[in-house]
Amino acid sequence: MDFMQDDLDLLRERINTLDEQLLQLLNERAATALKIGKVKAHAGTKVYDPDRERAVLEHINSHNEGPLGKGAIEELFAAIITACREIQSN
């Protein structure tokens, strides 16, 4: 039983580390999106660009090797894109 608990503890520690890395990357992405929003505002360009968002999803799907499927990836990235678009608008 201890062996399995040790494995579980190690795996949970790995999840925590990965979550911290994801958080850092998400904030870095958001900071970059904020800069893009400033460029768009200066150029008088709309924040929402459905063609670009579609291209982002296509790009990320082309690099997905699983185990998450296309639907899960698109749902996750749609939420990320929406959050980044919101900070561009503010």
Summarize pLDDT for 24-82 with one digit per residue, the tens. Answer: 999 999 999 999 999 999 999 999 999 999 999 999 999 999 999 999 999 999 999 99
Q: Tokens in use for 61?
A: 């799907």
Cβ-contact 37, 88 below 8 angstroms: yes
Q: What is the CATH number of the domain that holds 66?
A: 1.20.59.10
Q: Tokens in use for 86?
A: 């919101």
Which band of pLDDT confidence, cut at 50, 70 and 90, is reported for residue 1? low
Please report the pLDDT score of residue 14 as a whole number. 97
Domains identified in the chain, total number = 1
Q: Tokens in use for 49?
A: 């660009």
Residues 65 and 68: their CA atoms lie apart, in Å, by 8
Please report the pLDDT score of residue 63 as a whole number. 97
Residues 64 and 58: their CA atoms lie apart, in Å, by 10
Tell me which residue range forms the domain holding 28: 2-89
Residues 37 and 45: their CA atoms lie apart, in Å, by 9
